[in-house]
Structure 1
Amino acid sequence: MINEQIKDKEVRLIGEDGEQLGIMPAREAMKIAREAELDLVKIAPTAKPPVCKIIDYGKYKYELVRKEKEARKKQKTVEIKEIRLSPNIETNDLNTKINAAKKFISKGNKVKITLRFRGREMAHMQSSRHILDDFAEHLSDIATVEKAPKLEGRSISIVLTEKK
Protein backbone atom coordinates (compact mmCIF):
# COMPACT_ATOMS: atom_id res chain seq x y z
CA MET A 1 0.00 0.00 0.00
CA ILE A 2 1.20 3.47 -0.82
CA ASN A 3 0.20 7.05 0.01
CA GLU A 4 -3.61 7.49 0.29
CA GLN A 5 -4.21 3.71 0.35
CA ILE A 6 -2.86 3.58 3.93
CA LYS A 7 -5.95 3.77 6.18
CA ASP A 8 -4.31 3.09 9.56
CA LYS A 9 -4.64 5.69 12.33
CA GLU A 10 -1.06 5.37 13.58
CA VAL A 11 2.09 4.18 11.82
CA ARG A 12 5.74 3.72 12.75
CA LEU A 13 7.63 5.95 10.33
CA ILE A 14 11.09 5.36 8.91
CA GLY A 15 12.75 8.27 7.10
CA GLU A 16 14.27 8.22 3.62
CA ASP A 17 17.80 7.56 4.95
CA GLY A 18 16.64 4.79 7.30
CA GLU A 19 16.35 6.66 10.63
CA GLN A 20 13.40 6.02 12.94
CA LEU A 21 11.00 8.97 13.10
CA GLY A 22 8.75 7.27 15.67
CA ILE A 23 5.05 6.47 15.92
CA MET A 24 2.74 9.15 14.49
CA PRO A 25 -0.66 9.57 12.84
CA ALA A 26 -0.79 8.42 9.21
CA ARG A 27 -1.83 11.89 7.99
CA GLU A 28 1.24 13.49 9.54
CA ALA A 29 3.46 10.80 8.01
CA MET A 30 1.81 11.46 4.63
CA LYS A 31 2.51 15.20 5.04
CA ILE A 32 6.20 14.54 5.77
CA ALA A 33 6.44 12.32 2.69
CA ARG A 34 4.84 14.97 0.46
CA GLU A 35 7.27 17.63 1.76
CA ALA A 36 10.17 15.35 0.80
CA GLU A 37 8.44 14.80 -2.61
CA LEU A 38 8.52 11.03 -2.05
CA ASP A 39 5.98 8.27 -1.39
CA LEU A 40 4.80 6.76 1.89
CA VAL A 41 5.00 2.97 1.50
CA LYS A 42 3.72 0.39 4.01
CA ILE A 43 6.54 -2.17 4.26
CA ALA A 44 5.38 -4.21 7.29
CA PRO A 45 1.55 -4.26 7.37
CA THR A 46 1.28 -6.96 10.07
CA ALA A 47 3.36 -5.11 12.68
CA LYS A 48 1.68 -3.22 15.53
CA PRO A 49 1.59 -0.35 14.56
CA PRO A 50 2.26 -0.91 10.79
CA VAL A 51 5.69 0.19 9.58
CA CYS A 52 5.80 2.78 6.79
CA LYS A 53 8.83 4.16 5.01
CA ILE A 54 9.40 7.34 3.02
CA ILE A 55 10.89 6.25 -0.31
CA ASP A 56 10.56 6.69 -4.07
CA TYR A 57 8.02 3.95 -4.89
CA GLY A 58 9.17 3.48 -8.50
CA LYS A 59 12.76 2.96 -7.40
CA TYR A 60 11.62 0.60 -4.60
CA LYS A 61 9.60 -1.53 -7.04
CA TYR A 62 12.52 -1.64 -9.50
CA GLU A 63 14.87 -2.86 -6.73
CA LEU A 64 12.43 -5.64 -5.74
CA VAL A 65 12.19 -6.86 -9.35
CA ARG A 66 15.98 -6.75 -9.72
CA LYS A 67 16.53 -8.77 -6.53
CA GLU A 68 13.96 -11.33 -7.68
CA LYS A 69 15.69 -11.72 -11.07
CA GLU A 70 19.04 -12.13 -9.33
CA ALA A 71 17.62 -14.85 -7.08
CA ARG A 72 16.16 -16.67 -10.09
CA LYS A 73 19.48 -16.49 -11.90
CA LYS A 74 21.26 -18.24 -9.03
CA GLN A 75 18.73 -21.08 -8.85
CA LYS A 76 19.67 -24.39 -10.40
CA THR A 77 17.05 -26.84 -11.55
CA VAL A 78 17.89 -30.47 -10.89
CA GLU A 79 16.72 -32.89 -13.53
CA ILE A 80 16.15 -36.60 -13.03
CA LYS A 81 17.83 -38.61 -15.78
CA GLU A 82 16.67 -42.18 -16.22
CA ILE A 83 18.81 -45.14 -17.18
CA ARG A 84 17.00 -48.36 -18.06
CA LEU A 85 18.54 -51.77 -17.59
CA SER A 86 17.36 -55.31 -18.19
CA PRO A 87 18.10 -58.26 -15.88
CA ASN A 88 20.33 -60.06 -18.40
CA ILE A 89 22.65 -57.12 -19.15
CA GLU A 90 26.27 -57.90 -20.02
CA THR A 91 29.18 -56.34 -18.10
CA ASN A 92 30.37 -54.08 -20.97
CA ASP A 93 26.85 -52.73 -21.46
CA LEU A 94 26.59 -52.17 -17.71
CA ASN A 95 29.92 -50.29 -17.72
CA THR A 96 28.65 -48.06 -20.53
CA LYS A 97 25.52 -47.26 -18.52
CA ILE A 98 27.65 -46.58 -15.41
CA ASN A 99 29.78 -44.09 -17.38
CA ALA A 100 26.64 -42.34 -18.62
CA ALA A 101 25.37 -42.13 -15.03
CA LYS A 102 28.72 -40.66 -13.92
CA LYS A 103 28.36 -37.90 -16.52
CA PHE A 104 24.82 -37.10 -15.38
CA ILE A 105 25.79 -37.00 -11.70
CA SER A 106 28.88 -34.86 -12.34
CA LYS A 107 26.62 -32.30 -14.08
CA GLY A 108 24.51 -32.12 -10.90
CA ASN A 109 21.52 -34.17 -12.03
CA LYS A 110 19.85 -37.01 -10.18
CA VAL A 111 19.88 -40.43 -11.83
CA LYS A 112 17.05 -42.93 -11.68
CA ILE A 113 18.18 -46.45 -12.56
CA THR A 114 15.30 -48.68 -13.61
CA LEU A 115 15.59 -52.44 -13.95
CA ARG A 116 12.74 -53.52 -16.26
CA PHE A 117 11.35 -57.06 -16.34
CA ARG A 118 9.51 -58.62 -19.28
CA GLY A 119 7.72 -61.95 -19.56
CA ARG A 120 9.41 -64.79 -17.69
CA GLU A 121 11.95 -62.40 -16.17
CA MET A 122 9.19 -61.48 -13.69
CA ALA A 123 9.72 -64.80 -11.90
CA HIS A 124 13.34 -63.90 -11.03
CA MET A 125 12.91 -60.34 -9.82
CA GLN A 126 14.63 -60.77 -6.45
CA SER A 127 17.66 -62.54 -7.88
CA SER A 128 18.25 -59.61 -10.28
CA ARG A 129 18.29 -56.99 -7.52
CA HIS A 130 22.08 -57.38 -7.24
CA ILE A 131 22.45 -55.52 -10.57
CA LEU A 132 21.12 -52.33 -8.97
CA ASP A 133 23.29 -52.87 -5.90
CA ASP A 134 26.40 -53.29 -8.09
CA PHE A 135 25.45 -50.17 -10.06
CA ALA A 136 25.15 -48.13 -6.86
CA GLU A 137 28.41 -49.58 -5.53
CA HIS A 138 30.32 -48.61 -8.70
CA LEU A 139 29.12 -45.03 -8.26
CA SER A 140 29.55 -44.93 -4.46
CA ASP A 141 32.61 -42.64 -4.72
CA ILE A 142 30.61 -39.82 -6.38
CA ALA A 143 26.97 -40.64 -5.56
CA THR A 144 24.71 -41.67 -2.71
CA VAL A 145 21.47 -43.61 -2.78
CA GLU A 146 18.61 -41.16 -2.28
CA LYS A 147 15.82 -43.69 -2.75
CA ALA A 148 16.45 -47.37 -2.01
CA PRO A 149 15.50 -50.05 -4.57
CA LYS A 150 11.73 -50.22 -4.80
CA LEU A 151 9.44 -52.50 -6.77
CA GLU A 152 7.07 -50.52 -8.99
CA GLY A 153 4.93 -52.76 -11.17
CA ARG A 154 7.18 -54.54 -13.69
CA SER A 155 10.34 -52.70 -12.64
CA ILE A 156 12.64 -51.99 -9.72
CA SER A 157 14.11 -48.50 -9.50
CA ILE A 158 16.69 -46.67 -7.42
CA VAL A 159 17.58 -42.94 -7.34
CA LEU A 160 21.16 -41.71 -6.95
CA THR A 161 22.31 -38.14 -6.19
CA GLU A 162 25.64 -36.39 -6.06
CA LYS A 163 27.61 -36.66 -2.82
CA LYS A 164 27.81 -33.42 -0.88
Structure 2
Amino acid sequence: MWLQKQWYKARLHPLLFLLTPLSLVFWLVTNLRRSFYAFGLMSRYKADVPVIVVGNISVGGTGKTPMVVALSQWLKDEGWNPGIISRGYGAKGPFPYEVLDSDSPEKAGDEPLLMRRRTGCPVVIAPKRAQAAKLMAEQHPKVNVIICDDGLQHYALKRDIELIMIDAERGTGNGW
Protein backbone atom coordinates (compact mmCIF):
# COMPACT_ATOMS: atom_id res chain seq x y z
CA MET A 1 0.00 0.00 0.00
CA TRP A 2 1.38 3.41 -1.02
CA LEU A 3 0.72 5.11 2.32
CA GLN A 4 2.43 2.36 4.31
CA LYS A 5 5.50 2.44 2.04
CA GLN A 6 5.74 6.21 2.45
CA TRP A 7 5.56 5.92 6.23
CA TYR A 8 8.69 3.80 6.36
CA LYS A 9 10.80 6.05 4.13
CA ALA A 10 13.41 8.26 5.77
CA ARG A 11 11.86 11.42 4.28
CA LEU A 12 8.15 12.03 4.51
CA HIS A 13 6.24 12.55 1.30
CA PRO A 14 4.76 16.09 1.34
CA LEU A 15 1.21 14.72 1.07
CA LEU A 16 1.63 12.98 4.42
CA PHE A 17 1.79 16.36 6.15
CA LEU A 18 -1.88 16.79 5.19
CA LEU A 19 -2.66 13.89 7.54
CA THR A 20 -1.27 15.72 10.58
CA PRO A 21 -4.69 17.03 11.72
CA LEU A 22 -6.12 13.50 11.44
CA SER A 23 -3.20 12.19 13.51
CA LEU A 24 -3.97 14.69 16.24
CA VAL A 25 -7.67 13.71 16.25
CA PHE A 26 -6.73 10.02 16.37
CA TRP A 27 -4.32 10.68 19.26
CA LEU A 28 -6.97 12.60 21.18
CA VAL A 29 -9.73 10.01 20.68
CA THR A 30 -7.53 7.02 21.57
CA ASN A 31 -6.13 8.71 24.67
CA LEU A 32 -9.59 9.74 25.85
CA ARG A 33 -10.90 6.22 25.31
CA ARG A 34 -7.97 4.66 27.15
CA SER A 35 -8.42 7.15 29.99
CA PHE A 36 -12.13 6.34 30.27
CA TYR A 37 -11.24 2.69 30.84
CA ALA A 38 -8.40 3.53 33.22
CA PHE A 39 -10.62 5.74 35.40
CA GLY A 40 -13.55 3.31 35.41
CA LEU A 41 -15.85 5.43 33.25
CA MET A 42 -16.10 2.49 30.85
CA SER A 43 -16.35 -1.03 32.23
CA ARG A 44 -13.59 -3.61 31.89
CA TYR A 45 -13.76 -7.38 32.21
CA LYS A 46 -11.22 -8.95 34.56
CA ALA A 47 -10.63 -12.62 33.81
CA ASP A 48 -10.01 -14.99 36.71
CA VAL A 49 -6.71 -15.98 35.11
CA PRO A 50 -3.72 -13.94 33.89
CA VAL A 51 -4.14 -12.34 30.46
CA ILE A 52 -1.15 -11.80 28.15
CA VAL A 53 -1.79 -9.52 25.17
CA VAL A 54 0.44 -9.88 22.11
CA GLY A 55 0.16 -6.90 19.80
CA ASN A 56 1.98 -4.37 17.69
CA ILE A 57 2.05 -0.63 17.20
CA SER A 58 2.74 -0.70 13.48
CA VAL A 59 0.80 -2.09 10.56
CA GLY A 60 0.95 -5.88 10.19
CA GLY A 61 3.77 -8.30 9.63
CA THR A 62 5.50 -8.12 13.00
CA GLY A 63 5.22 -11.78 13.97
CA LYS A 64 2.29 -11.73 16.40
CA THR A 65 0.94 -15.11 15.34
CA PRO A 66 4.31 -16.92 15.55
CA MET A 67 4.83 -15.30 18.97
CA VAL A 68 1.43 -16.52 20.19
CA VAL A 69 2.26 -20.05 18.99
CA ALA A 70 5.74 -19.99 20.59
CA LEU A 71 4.45 -18.45 23.83
CA SER A 72 1.68 -21.00 24.17
CA GLN A 73 4.16 -23.84 23.65
CA TRP A 74 6.57 -22.36 26.20
CA LEU A 75 3.75 -21.94 28.74
CA LYS A 76 2.68 -25.55 28.17
CA ASP A 77 6.29 -26.69 28.68
CA GLU A 78 6.31 -24.74 31.96
CA GLY A 79 3.17 -26.53 33.18
CA TRP A 80 0.52 -23.94 32.29
CA ASN A 81 -2.73 -24.61 30.40
CA PRO A 82 -3.02 -21.70 27.95
CA GLY A 83 -6.03 -20.68 25.94
CA ILE A 84 -5.91 -18.26 23.01
CA ILE A 85 -8.40 -15.55 22.12
CA SER A 86 -8.39 -13.65 18.85
CA ARG A 87 -10.47 -11.39 16.65
CA GLY A 88 -10.94 -14.00 13.98
CA TYR A 89 -10.42 -11.77 10.95
CA GLY A 90 -12.32 -13.20 8.02
CA ALA A 91 -14.56 -15.39 10.19
CA LYS A 92 -18.29 -15.20 9.57
CA GLY A 93 -19.58 -15.58 13.15
CA PRO A 94 -21.72 -15.83 15.18
CA PHE A 95 -19.40 -14.68 17.95
CA PRO A 96 -17.96 -15.63 20.34
CA TYR A 97 -17.01 -18.90 18.69
CA GLU A 98 -14.66 -21.71 19.70
CA VAL A 99 -12.39 -22.74 16.82
CA LEU A 100 -12.32 -26.46 16.05
CA ASP A 101 -9.61 -28.40 14.21
CA SER A 102 -12.20 -29.34 11.58
CA ASP A 103 -13.21 -25.70 10.84
CA SER A 104 -12.47 -24.03 7.53
CA PRO A 105 -10.55 -20.75 7.31
CA GLU A 106 -13.79 -19.12 6.13
CA LYS A 107 -15.57 -20.16 9.30
CA ALA A 108 -12.84 -19.48 11.88
CA GLY A 109 -10.34 -17.17 10.17
CA ASP A 110 -7.01 -18.42 8.87
CA GLU A 111 -4.80 -17.29 11.77
CA PRO A 112 -7.04 -18.59 14.59
CA LEU A 113 -7.31 -21.91 12.78
CA LEU A 114 -3.54 -22.07 12.35
CA MET A 115 -3.05 -21.28 16.07
CA ARG A 116 -5.55 -23.98 17.05
CA ARG A 117 -3.90 -26.62 14.88
CA ARG A 118 -0.29 -25.69 15.76
CA THR A 119 -0.76 -25.37 19.52
CA GLY A 120 -3.57 -27.78 20.39
CA CYS A 121 -4.81 -25.05 22.75
CA PRO A 122 -8.42 -23.96 22.85
CA VAL A 123 -8.97 -20.89 20.66
CA VAL A 124 -12.00 -18.61 20.95
CA ILE A 125 -12.67 -15.79 18.50
CA ALA A 126 -14.76 -12.66 18.93
CA PRO A 127 -14.41 -9.02 17.85
CA LYS A 128 -14.93 -8.15 21.52
CA ARG A 129 -12.06 -9.89 23.32
CA ALA A 130 -13.87 -9.79 26.68
CA GLN A 131 -16.63 -11.98 25.21
CA ALA A 132 -13.99 -14.44 24.00
CA ALA A 133 -12.38 -14.54 27.46
CA LYS A 134 -15.75 -15.19 29.11
CA LEU A 135 -16.52 -18.09 26.76
CA MET A 136 -13.02 -19.47 27.33
CA ALA A 137 -13.65 -19.48 31.10
CA GLU A 138 -17.05 -21.19 30.65
CA GLN A 139 -15.92 -23.84 28.17
CA HIS A 140 -12.39 -24.51 29.47
CA PRO A 141 -12.12 -24.16 33.26
CA LYS A 142 -8.66 -25.78 33.22
CA VAL A 143 -7.23 -22.89 31.19
CA ASN A 144 -5.10 -20.94 33.67
CA VAL A 145 -3.62 -18.28 31.36
CA ILE A 146 -5.13 -16.50 28.35
CA ILE A 147 -3.06 -15.28 25.42
CA CYS A 148 -4.85 -12.52 23.52
CA ASP A 149 -3.72 -12.22 19.91
CA ASP A 150 -3.70 -8.63 18.58
CA GLY A 151 -5.58 -7.00 21.43
CA LEU A 152 -3.61 -3.92 22.48
CA GLN A 153 -6.44 -1.58 21.52
CA HIS A 154 -9.13 -3.65 23.29
CA TYR A 155 -9.16 -2.01 26.70
CA ALA A 156 -12.45 -3.64 27.75
CA LEU A 157 -10.39 -6.72 28.64
CA LYS A 158 -7.97 -6.15 31.51
CA ARG A 159 -4.53 -7.51 30.89
CA ASP A 160 -1.66 -8.48 33.12
CA ILE A 161 1.15 -8.42 30.54
CA GLU A 162 1.50 -6.74 27.16
CA LEU A 163 4.03 -8.00 24.62
CA ILE A 164 4.58 -5.51 21.81
CA MET A 165 6.04 -6.89 18.62
CA ILE A 166 8.21 -4.67 16.40
CA ASP A 167 9.57 -5.57 12.97
CA ALA A 168 13.36 -5.49 13.48
CA GLU A 169 14.03 -4.39 9.89
CA ARG A 170 11.34 -1.72 9.50
CA GLY A 171 11.33 -0.46 13.08
CA THR A 172 8.40 1.74 14.09
CA GLY A 173 8.38 4.11 11.15
CA ASN A 174 10.32 7.11 9.92
CA GLY A 175 11.12 8.71 13.24
CA TRP A 176 8.16 11.06 13.26
- Fold shared per TM-score above 0.5: no
TM-score normalised to the size of structure 1?
A: 0.30
TM-score normalised to the size of structure 2?
A: 0.29
Q: Which has the higher contact order (CA 8 A, sep 6+)?
A: 2
Structure number with bigger Rg: 1
